[in-house]
Amino acid sequence: MLLVIDVGNTNTVLGVFDKDHLICDWRIRTVRDTTADEFNILARGLFNDNGIAFSDIGKTVISCVVPPAVRILDNFCHKYLDQTPLWVNPDAVRQLMPVLYNNPAEVGADRVVNAIAAYEKYKESLIIIDFGTATTFDVITEKGEYLGGAIIPGIMISAEALFQKASRLPRVEMFMPPESVIGRDTIDSIKSGLMHGNAALVDGMVARMKKEMGTSPRVIATGGLAVLIAELTDTIEVVDNSLTLEGLRIISRELDKNN
């Protein structure tokens, strides 16, 4: 079996594949000051609940944008899985998809991982929107080239900034949008601004990107809040929250072919 781990600034997503089939996955908080032993306890509990043993894992592939987590997960893999993980880096993913950025090294590996997975699935021009710590837009050409994109503050970052910088505005939780765009109290007004506002931003950005691309790309969303925001937009066609995990699987497969 293959274990894939995507470490983001807010959440870490783990998945276990049996060949090409994702048999289980989990989303946990990213903790920067944990230890390999503590991560072992958490991971072992998740595995046991799904009838998976550490000995079943033949390979581990990790994408990480949080430097302190590298040492933790590397130690975990060596100590408890008895293996050296494959770390996905920009050089590795650029071998599998041309990156047309002015400086390709600037593109986060996780963004290209999503692009590789989406293009393998759809084989057409794409706009991929990842609702993570930051909300990212990634544009893929019909030829399977990473063209570029856009980065804006994530929804939760925006919510926290309002709470911290505006002394009379409360912190809000976003489990569902307000009943109407016009909020009738402070909580609903904040939710409307964050959720309907981001939905309108998505529709506006997609329209502008489509105009520049000159094609009709498929629009895919992924990330923690993707389902909620997708329901409020006119442009998101597909929500795929296993996109990054699938991308890591594909990268593992292709790098194995090349070695």
- The residue-averaged pLDDT of 132-158 equals 93
148 φ/ψ sector (left φ>0, alpha ψ -120 to 50, else beta): left
CA distances from 14 to 6, 102, 214, 239 (A): 6, 32, 36, 18
CB 88 within 8 A of CB 251: yes
Q: What is the pLDDT of residues 16-43, one digit of tens each?
A: 999 899 999 999 999 888 999 999 999 9
Which two three-digit tokens encode residue 219? 């629009």
Residue tagged active-site, from 18, 49, 74, 110? 110
Q: What is the band of 256 on the pLDDT scale with cuts at 50, 70, 90?
A: confident
Beta strands of the chain (E only): which ranges? 2-7, 11-18, 21-29, 59-64, 86-87, 126-131, 134-140, 146-153, 218-223, 238-239
pLDDT of residue 80: 96
Superfamily of structural domain 2-87: ATPase, nucleotide binding domain (3.30.420.40)
pLDDT of residue 229: 94
Beta strands of 30-121 (E only): which ranges? 59-64, 86-87
CB 223 within 8 A of CB 241: yes
Known binding residues are 6-13, 101, 108-111, 130, 133, 186
Inform me whether the pLDDT recorded for 90 exceeds 80. no
Inform me whether the pLDDT recorded for 160 exceeds 90. no
Known binding residues for K(+) are 130
Q: Where in the chain is the domain with CATH 3.30.420.40?
A: 2-87, 123-248
Q: Is 110 a catalytic residue?
A: yes
Q: What is the pLDDT of residues 236-250, one digit of tens each?
A: 999 998 899 999 999
pLDDT of residue 12: 93
Determine the 3-state secondary structure of 26 from DSSP: strand
Q: pTM value?
A: 0.88
Pick the CATH number of 123-248 from 3.30.420.40, 1.10.260.40, 3.30.70.1290, 3.40.50.720: 3.30.420.40
Q: What is the C-alpha separation between 59 and 251, in angstroms, rounded?
A: 13
| Residue with the two structure tokens 């070695």 | 259
Inform me whether the pLDDT recorded for 258 exceeds 70. no
Known binding residues for substrate are 101, 108-111, 186
Of 186, 139, 132, nearest to 158 (Cα)? Answer: 132
The per-residue pLDDT of the chain, averaged, comes to 91
